[in-house]
Structure 1
Amino acid sequence: MSRNALAIAGVFFLLYPVLRPWTDETTTAGAHEAMSSTAWVVAHFLAMIGFVLVPLALLGLRDAVGLAPAAVMWVGTGLTLPYYGAEDFGLHAAATKGTNLLAVTEATRYNPIAVTIFGIGLVTLAVGAVLVAVALWRSGSPSRYAAAVFAAGFVLFLPQFFTPAPVRIAHGVLMLVGLMWLAFSLKPAARVRTPQLSGQGAA
């Protein structure tokens, strides 16, 4: 379950920039073309699912990394998702209802509270990912190099928003590599089997 969740998250984080329409969103025509498309909705939704899957997977890997990274990343996810929801569904609705799209986009993306919470959420996710890397480096785990790539992807998540499309797609590749590598190098917590006493049945 944990491996699958990390691997799927990696695929989703790659598909997010690959499927997202890249147009000039500073113009009404460009913003409308991107935000009114189904690809816009699907791409952002996949990113949101990716954010949910990562801390969920870390719960299953708690024996290797502890509970702190999962808890921190849950907080980061909770702070990040409202902004993604507004980008995904709010701007899509504005684009399809014929409103002043550029004004709505500006108000949505740069609302002081919204953008602050979004930034704090992504920084918190980065802290959680770094905690994973630190835990695996301290334990000498063979997965420590994978964890370093995993952490780098989350540390760079916020800065990549200020880069052009090719860099953002490259960041998606980094996320895929880090999550896939971590998924298949870490083992989930083993089940503890309770020995049964000979000669006695179950209660």
Structure 2
Amino acid sequence: MYLFIAVMFAAYPALRPYSDEVGTPGAQAFASSQWVLAHTFAMLGFIALGLAVLYTGRRSDLAVVTTWVGVGLVLTYYGAETFALHALGVEAVANSNPALIELADPIRYSLVQSVMFGLGLVLIAVGLVAFALRNRYAMVLAAGFVLFLPQFYTPPAVRIAHGVLIAVGAIIAARAVAKRSAETVGRSAESAQPISTITGA
């Protein structure tokens, strides 16, 4: 689960095409198959994150509820970001009409979707912090999601580095969960060993 999260969130900013998102360069970026692929990776990563909070570590109701509400709000935005802007870009490129890209801002930045997206990311951050307080191995991962909203206002190199931060946090969590599972299996195996009625061994 955590390794999947690592791959998805590292790949998302690394594969995403960057441009000033206006005119022909913006249309080409939106029309790119990498645009859809990268944002789909992000959506899959958010779903996996919610599942990790639900099914791994010491459970926190606050973490589960806030993370999943946040994921629901964010996925709504990402759906439009991924598919609507891609369709817009394809149409703009096919008809040599880059002015169509001006419609991207109303799709992205109108009040309702902006509030949903921002609130969703804040709730995910709260959920991950709550989860990390009960599962200390998730501290770096939680830090990555606390920084998720601010990183949108940084250059591509910083965004890619942020994806690496989340990946590192997820790998740390994966190792901790695997170690804990191995210890649990070991204790179960020891307790299941038969005891001799003669020697007590």
State the partner residue of 2:195. none
Matches of 2:144 and 2:67 in 1, distance apart?
A: 14
Task: Give aligned pairs, total.
Answer: 179
State the partner residue of 2:75. 81
Matches of 2:154 and 2:31 in 1, distance apart?
A: 22
Structure 1 range deviating more: 65-74 or 6-15: 65-74
Following superposition, the deviation at residue 33 of structure 1 comes to 1.5
Query: Is 1:53 equivalent to 2:44 in the alignment?
Result: no
Q: Which runs of 5+ in 1 are unaligned?
A: 137-143, 196-203
Following superposition, the deviation at residue 65 of structure 1 comes to 3.6
State the partner residue of 1:104. 103
Superimposed CA distance per residue, residues 94-113 of structure 1 (whole angstroms, 9 cap, x where no aligned partner)? 11123643321111111110
TM-score (norm 1): 0.82
State the partner residue of 2:36. 41
Larger radius of gyration: 2
Contact 2:60 2:130 (C-alpha < 8 Å) held by counterparts: no
Superimposed CA distance per residue, residues 12-42 of structure 1 (whole angstroms, 9 cap, x where no aligned partner)? 00100000011221x3111111100000000
Matches of 2:60 and 2:85 in 1, distance apart?
A: 38
**Aligned residue type for 1:175:** I
| Aligned counterpart for 1:154 among listed residues 142, 145, 157 | 145
Contact 2:17 2:35 (C-alpha < 8 Å) held by counterparts: yes
Give the RMSD, CA atoms, in angstroms.
Answer: 2.0
Contact 2:89 2:101 (C-alpha < 8 Å) held by counterparts: no
Superimposed CA distance per residue, residues 81-100 of structure 1 (whole angstroms, 9 cap, x where no aligned partner)? 11111110000001112364
Q: Which runs of 5+ in 2 are unaligned?
A: 193-201
State the partner residue of 2:122. 123
Following superposition, the deviation at residue 159 of structure 1 comes to 0.2
Following superposition, the deviation at residue 163 of structure 1 comes to 0.4
Following superposition, the deviation at residue 49 of structure 1 comes to 0.3
Equivalence map 1:1-203=2 (5 Å) = 5-25=1-21, 27-62=22-57, 64-98=58-92, 100-136=99-135, 144=136, 146-186=137-177, 187=180
Structure 1 range deviating more: 98-107 or 40-49: 98-107
TM-score (norm 2): 0.83
